[in-house]
Structure 1
Amino acid sequence: METTGDPQDNKALVLGATGGIGGEVARQLLGAGWELVALKRGLAAPVERRDGISWLRGDAMELADVLAAARDCSVIVHAVNPPGYRNWGQLVLPMVDNSLAAAKAEGATLVLPGTLYNYGPDAFPMLSEASPQHPLTRKGAIRVELEARLEAASAQGVRTIVVRAGDYFGPNAGNNWFSQGLVKPGQPVKAIQLPGAPGVGHQWSYLPDVARTMVELLARRAELPPFARFHMAGHWDEDGTQVAAAIHRAVRRHGGQAKLKAFPWWLTRLLSPFIPTLRELQEMRYLWRQPVRMDNSRLKAFLGYEPHTPLDEAVEATLRGLGCLPPRPGVVVSVRT
């Protein structure tokens, strides 16, 4: 393996630290005592120290920037995505190639947040890490290729951990179905939209739980094979209404009222040619038309449990983070189940 020096066991590069999953993993790594570096375009100075992170001026699309930022790191968290789904096909694979090159150079473990998009209906309804990957969408095909490159790199000494989860939600989760499809951020909840077909279950994952899982797997990374994949069960909404009901309960606890209504798929279909975000939502509709659930047996066998925040706590924290409920000091803590 090529190395530029001895990596520090507690130093990590987080790519995508300004985003939802990258930011949450960064916060939890800091809490666990890690030293962090991150890349950010447009910094006034080459290096800025903020929020416990050393921010370096650079771009995940530039190999030299990623190599320099990863120096002496034992872990690279690859949580970077093109903003607003723009130029997805042109940017995603070059960025992961840069991360792989840096991981190989430093002898670092690469961590990737995975999704359900790798899978098509032939693998439904219960997904294991070994389920066949025949995605229906362009985005899904890119995710399959991305993971294939990671697995191929493991033969060259690059260690990788992939954690796949359902649709994210959380107080700092960025763009997701909860904030784009169920409620309107920045205002009291008056209506809760239901994207799923009646009675169809759906897989959700609370972002702090996903980040906690990654941090705990990193703490035991020496015990893992070179290419390790894990699925999270997260919050299984058995009939597609349980998350909406939790939103309704949170709103009522604060003296509000909200009505349920169907998600306007007809409108996203009409506007999707002009709005990239709506085009992506429309492309993923197949995941709302049939139940898709994830088997976390492998994760529980390795860690002994899955980090899991109770649904009502997770939903209330999410609504506060979105500005849909009055802010209140306090931290939602994951509990063992």
Structure 2
Amino acid sequence: MANRDNTALVLGATGGIGGEVARQLRDAGWEVHAMQRQRPATPTLSDGIHWHRGDAMSAADVAAAAQGCSVIVHAVNPPGYQRWAELVLPMMDNTLAAARAQGATVVLPGTIYNYGPDAFPVLHEDAAQRPLTRKGIIRVEMERRLQAATAQGCRAIVVRAGDFFGPQSGNNWFSQGLIKPGQAVKTVQLPGQPGVGHQWSYLPDVARTMVQLLARRHTLPAFASLHMAGHWDEDGQQMAQAIARVVARRTGSTPRLRAFPWWLLALASPFVTTLRELREMRYLWTTPIRMDNSRLRASLTEEPHTPLDEAVEATLVGLGCLKPAALSPARPLAASPSASRA
């Protein structure tokens, strides 16, 4: 077996953040293991990753895949926002059981759903977590269980970031609210109120941050919660304007900006789960929310940060909104993974 201290299990490796972390760990010399329900019974090596057949809802599957691993990346979510209340906490419990058995470090991509308006406008790691939404309540409980498990032999790193965007970022506001994947960008929608700042995080930067923290994990507290600054959109239009700039440079046509149709979500959300979940998060667009990354910079000195236009271009190419030919060959894009809870 390879050096156990450099062996990781990534749960959710067919999704956005999980897939990016798995690839970056692999490229950094880690032995990476992953699970997928459709895989053959015998573990297989594909693209440098050891794939196991299994389901994150099965404690036995997770325990078997985690054998010999010093790190478990818990980047797994129910696909399409479905059955959160039923699936999220059992999957976390299975990860924690495996981590305790292996004495492993658990890495969790955190969200700002944990916080309510009393913690805004600048989010610090130690702010009280009083969420307003169902998903926020579940996320708070996930982190509570994670922190409790550190008293039982495992360690934990929570990396909290703003709204994800990236070439393979899955369900997010960029791809579901601002533009339409797979189509030329003619219009960019603005979900926020005029002048209200918003926090974005480029998914490859988030993954790079996690990989760098894992290299230093033995210097961190048993439960380490850290915030990323990411890309701060000071007036709620910087992201949309970056999209328009990139599209105009690449195609010669400038998209128009328009307000997001929240009224349409109000009409359709009773019938469409994804729209209902998006509508529930509207409060995050009505007040400035900025992440303080002082604690992260104290650990890494500098936060990984891709320039906004470069990150937006790679995202639009990955989402099929721009042709890939003009993307720099130094940043190849893997095939877009399908959503899965494995």
TM-score for the superposition, normalised by structure 1: 0.96
Cα 1:83–1:222, aligned 2, differ >3 Å: closer, same or farther? same
Cross-structure match for 2:304? 307
Q: In the alignment, does 2:94 pair up with 1:101? A: no
**Aligned 8 A contact 1:168 1:178 in 2:** yes
Structure 2 counterpart SS, 1:160: strand
Does residue 189 of structure 1 match 2:185?
yes
Which range moved further: 36-45 or 228-237? 36-45
The match for 1:292 among 289, 294, 316 is: 289
Corresponding residue of 2:25: 29
- CA positional deviation for 1:93: 0.4
Secondary structure of 1:163 counterpart = strand
Q: Could you say if the C-alpha distance between residues 196 and 242 of structure 1 is closer, same or farther in structure 2, counting changes exceeding 3 Å?
A: same
State the Cα distance separating 1:47 from its structure 2 match: 1.9
Post-superposition offset of 1:207: 0.3
Match of 1:212 in 2: 208
1:51 aligns with 2:47: yes
Q: Does 1:115 align with 2:111?
A: yes
Q: 1:7 to 1:152 in 2, by over 3 A?
A: farther
**1:7–1:107 Cα contact (<8 Å) kept:** no
Do 2:114 and 2:130's aligned partners in 1 also have CA atoms closer than 8 Å? yes
Distance in 2 between residues matched to 1:331 and 1:286, nearest whole Å: 39
SS at match of 2:114: coil
Partner Cα separation in structure 1 for residue 206 and residue 255 of structure 2: 29
Aligned residue type for 1:174: G
1:42, distance to aligned residue in structure 2 (A):
2.0
Gaps of 5+ in 2: 333-342
Where does residue 136 of structure 2 map in the other structure?
140
1:277 alignment partner in structure 2: 274
2:269 partner letter: S
Residues 1:264 and 2:261 aligned together: yes
| Contact in 2 for aligned 1:40/1:59 (Cα 8 Å) | yes
Could you list the runs of 5+ residues in structure 1 that have no partner in the other structure?
none
1:319 to 304, 316, 320: 316
Residue 209 of structure 1, CA deviation: 0.4
**Taking structure 1 as reference, are residues 177 and 183 closer, same or farther at Cα in structure 2, changes over 3 Å only?**
same
| Counterpart position of 1:245 | 241
Per-residue displacement from partner, 1:293-323 (whole Å, max 9, x unpaired)?
1100000011101000000100011001011
Find the aligned partners of 1:332 and 1:48 in 2 and give their Cα distance.
26
One-letter identity of the residue aligned with 1:154: T
TM-score where L is the length of structure 2:
0.94
3-state SS of 2:113 partner? coil
Counterpart-to-counterpart distance in 1, 2:172 and 2:70 = 30
Q: CA deviation at 1:48?
A: 2.4
SS at 1:151 equivalent: helix
Q: Deviations over 1:167-222 (max 9, x none)?
A: 00001111110000000110110000000001100000000000000000000101
Shift of 1:46: 2.9
Counterpart Cα distance in 1 of 2:164 and 2:107? 17
Deviation at 1:269, TM superposition (A): 1.1
- Does the alignment pair 1:66 with 2:50? no
The letter of the residue matching 1:20 is G
Q: How many residues align?
A: 329
- Determine if contact 1:209/1:307 at 8 Å carries over to the other structure: yes
Q: Which letter maps to 1:223?
A: T
**Once the 2 structures are TM-superposed, how far is the Cα of residue 7 of structure 1 from its aligned partner?**
7.3
Answer yes or no: is the 8 Å Cα contact 2:109–2:158 preserved in 1.
yes
Report the secondary structure of 1:27's partner residue: helix
Cα separation, partners in 2 of 1:93 and 1:6, compared to 1, 3 Å: farther
User: What is the CA distance between 1:256 and its match in structure 2?
Assistant: 2.1
Q: Which amino acid aligns with 2:156?
A: T
- Kept in 1, the 8 Å contact 2:75–2:109? The answer is yes
Alpha-carbon shift at residue 332 of structure 1 (Å): 4.6
Q: 1:309 to 1:332 in 2, by over 3 A?
A: farther
Pick 1 or 2: higher relative contact order, CA cutoff 8 A, min separation 6.
Answer: 2
8 Å Cα contact 2:36/2:54 also seen in 1: yes
Deviations 1:118-141 (A, max 9, x none): 000010000000011000000000
